[in-house]
Structure 1
Amino acid sequence: MMLDNTDKDTHDKEGQDKKKRVNLTSDKRTAHFGLRGRATTGFPVKTRSKALSALLRFSHSLNESTELVAKLFWPEEAQQSEPEILEEVYKIATQDLAVLGHVPDMVWFHKFEESSTATIRKALGINDAGSRVLYIIVFRKLDPITTLIGEEFLLAWWEVVKGHRALWKNGVHHRDINPSNIMGYRLRSRFMSVLNDFDLSITDASKGFERTETAPFMSLELLTPEAIAGEVEHVYRHDAESFIWVLIWVCLRYEKGKLLGKGRPLDKWLMLDARRCQEKKCSYMFMVDKIPPTQSHRKNFIIAKKCLGMVYECGGPLPSIPTDDEVVFNTWFLNHVPQN
């Protein structure tokens, strides 16, 4: 499918009954960058279809927004698709209140079979394994968690941590925790946080050895040469540590719900390779008090330091990394985050 800088209509093979307009020039267009790219891009959607509007009545969350966004990306064909993963997530949500209302609401999706890079590989006589295919998924619109401050932000972050734990216990492993993937919506006056973007998730049926996350938020262990080479399995404590780095990141870089201007802390982390990023993060753990948090997150930073302190203890002179997921959850989070 060719895309230019104009609005584009998409529809099912059956015809126009789910016709929608994807605005490729919108200033709200977003892109995601990681160690390995799926060329993920998001666009606002203008629906001109009664059928698509009707799908909004069948919600998988408590989100009542009628605004939609489209996600275009190129996942590996061999991996379980994000729509399939989300169907598993929705089943868990019906049984677990920690998940209900805290997951993205998928309205519609389409796989462009004809876009498979396997066709190109075959034509060129390339027989090595691996191919990608274009997907488009339409979701209800969500807002960034970084717009929140103080106790409201901490509560939203904590609810996603708990929801993520519930999903992991039920066999859905997210594996890409970063600020862009923690979003939410308003349910009356309350902000309902959402763990978003399940395109890198896996289920218990498979093991996660590939590295696809965003370096500044990755566990220190996953930034080692062995892990980058695919020799370290991604386990729960790695995602748990990512949540802590996200908390540190927001506390230092956002004031009154807005990103600080030039010269903000930790900017260099975004431009480093895995090895150098790990070095910078390790150095930061020795000088955590030298970079003050913003006023909006002063109290949250106290919690963030306590959580990060547990990571430091586990990787200190006498490493004692817990292997039990529940121990990680309790000692890294539950013992430090205020419970309402």
Structure 2
Amino acid sequence: MSISSLEARCLTGGATSVCDASGGEDEPELVCKVYHLEMKRPNEGETLKLIYKKVQEADFSTMKPLSYMDSYGDTPSCTTSRVKTMLRIDWERHRTIRVIACEKLQPITSQIGRAFMRAWLEVVKCHALLWSIGVRYGKPSLWNIMYSGEHKCGVLTDFDLSILNSRRRVPGTDRKGTKPFMAIELLSENDWQGNLSRQYHHELKPFVWILAFVCFRYQDGKELENTIVDSWMTGDPVTCKAKKLIFAFDIDGFDKYVVSSFKHEWQLAKELVDWVTHQRRQRTACARSEDEDPYYSDSSSSDSDSKLTDPLPPPVDLPSVWEAFVRQVHAGRKFKGLSYLRDLIKELGLKDVLGMAKPDKS
């Protein structure tokens, strides 16, 4: 395999580049993702190997929506430890160049209408199945959902920050996400301080925000500029939270801004946004009525970065949240142009997803 180019990296900064790669004649088209990250970070290649093993043990008939990895590795000669030592800089957090080769994919936004919704639902299903076997994906984002032209399906990618329940972990490593798509309750000081114990519903909600985002920003597979959802793309979680709350509160007022490519799908997106924000209000009211908030942990972010915590317990809300989600999608068939949702639910076996998964024994 050959890599077309590599960019220089600095001593302290991290970056990710993606470039075309070539393999054998019979191999699919590949790309290489090149990171410059701390050595102590979990290796995405090793994580994917463990995930593939867990999927095989769970006896899933197919997991095409799971990212295909061809090879991976580090470049030992490119670590920053020697340079940091010469400069008398603490090298404990030294970095290396890490490379992973995987199937070349298309953005999911290359699809519209039924094809997009099928790919989107395939990825949501894959994500739920992974949670059911103890894999907490960590950061659902529009840019981590791709489309495979070869398999004609949606694909979940980018597992470098995934958490396996069976592994011991560094405190605070689950405080991640892409702000425009994060659950509203995660855009808070409690989450950034590591006081919020994340559950499955926190990771399902980003898929809803992704669907709403696409309905305004992509027309015929092309990304638009100056859309009403551009304001979600901010580094400030408080600002992002405020913008999304305003959007959810006056959601009917945004109908006129929806692109024609997703005018039918927007009807379902509206229902789902209303559902996830209603769920948030219910959980907040429940927490305030009790002495202790069941969604907050006793752990503090003041723990040392090097101290490991015990493995995570299995998610307690997965069955009920998934069932409610499928009901919402099924109800969307009543809208004009969305009658195909009934067939997609049946074709993808969404009602039987959790019956396909064996309980996580970790």
| Cα separation, 2, equivalents of 1:314 and 1:168 | 20
Deviation for aligned residue 1:336: 1.5
One-letter code of the match for 1:40? T
- Tell me how large the CA RMSD over aligned residues is: 2.7
1:312 to 247, 254, 277: 277
What's the secondary structure of 1:209's corresponding residue? coil
Determine whether 1:269 maps to 2:232.
Answer: yes
Contact 2:75 2:97 in 1 (8 A): yes
One-letter code of the match for 2:162? S
Deviation for aligned residue 1:157: 0.5
Determine whether 1:294 maps to 2:286.
Answer: no
Please name the residue that 1:138 is paired with.
101
One-letter code of the match for 1:91? K
What's the secondary structure of 2:215's corresponding residue? helix
Superposed, 1:4-19 pairs within 5 Å as: 18=1
Deviation for aligned residue 1:233: 3.3
| Cα separation, 1, equivalents of 2:42 and 2:26 | 24
Change (3 A) 1:161 1:320: farther
Please name the residue that 2:33 is paired with.
71
Change (3 A) 1:132 1:252: same
Range with bigger deviation, 144-153 or 71-80: 71-80
1:159-218 Cα shifts (integer Å, max 9, x gaps) = 11111111111122111111111012124xx62110011111111124573433221111
Please name the residue that 2:179 is paired with.
215
Superposed, 1:17-166 pairs within 5 Å as: 18=1, 20-23=2-5, 38-45=14-21, 47=22, 52-53=23-24, 56=27, 66-94=28-56, 95-97=58-60, 100-127=63-90, 130-166=93-129
Contact 1:98 1:159 in 2 (8 A): no
Change (3 A) 1:99 1:163: farther
Change (3 A) 1:21 1:84: closer
| Cα separation, 1, equivalents of 2:197 and 2:80 | 28
Deviation for aligned residue 1:299: 2.1
Give the alignment's TM-score, normalised by structure 2: 0.73
Contact 1:68 1:138 in 2 (8 A): yes
Please name the residue that 1:244 is paired with.
208
One-letter code of the match for 2:125? K
Change (3 A) 1:76 1:169: farther
Give the alignment's TM-score, normalised by structure 1: 0.78
What's the secondary structure of 1:319's corresponding residue? helix
| Cα separation, 1, equivalents of 2:168 and 2:274 | 32
One-letter code of the match for 1:89? I
1:69-119 Cα shifts (integer Å, max 9, x gaps) = 110113332232100111122224434547611112211222022333444
| Cα separation, 1, equivalents of 2:38 and 2:26 | 28
What's the secondary structure of 1:337's corresponding residue? helix
What's the secondary structure of 1:246's corresponding residue? helix
Please name the residue that 2:350 is paired with.
none
Please name the residue that 2:196 is paired with.
232
One-letter code of the match for 1:282? L
Contact 1:109 1:136 in 2 (8 A): yes
Q: Unpaired segments of 5 or more residues in structure 1?
A: 1-17, 26-36, 57-65
| Cα separation, 2, equivalents of 1:288 and 1:278 | 15
Please name the residue that 2:328 is paired with.
336
| Cα separation, 1, equivalents of 2:208 and 2:286 | 18
Deviation for aligned residue 1:121: 4.5
What's the secondary structure of 1:53's corresponding residue? coil
Contact 2:199 2:317 in 1 (8 A): no
Contact 2:67 2:157 in 1 (8 A): yes
Percent sequence identity is 30
Q: Which has the higher contact order (CA 8 A, sep 6+)?
A: 2
Runs of 4+ in 1 over 6 A off after TM superposition: none
Q: Unpaired segments of 5 or more residues in structure 2?
A: 8-12, 288-294, 296-315, 331-344, 347-362
Q: As a proportion of its length, which structure holds more helix?
A: 2
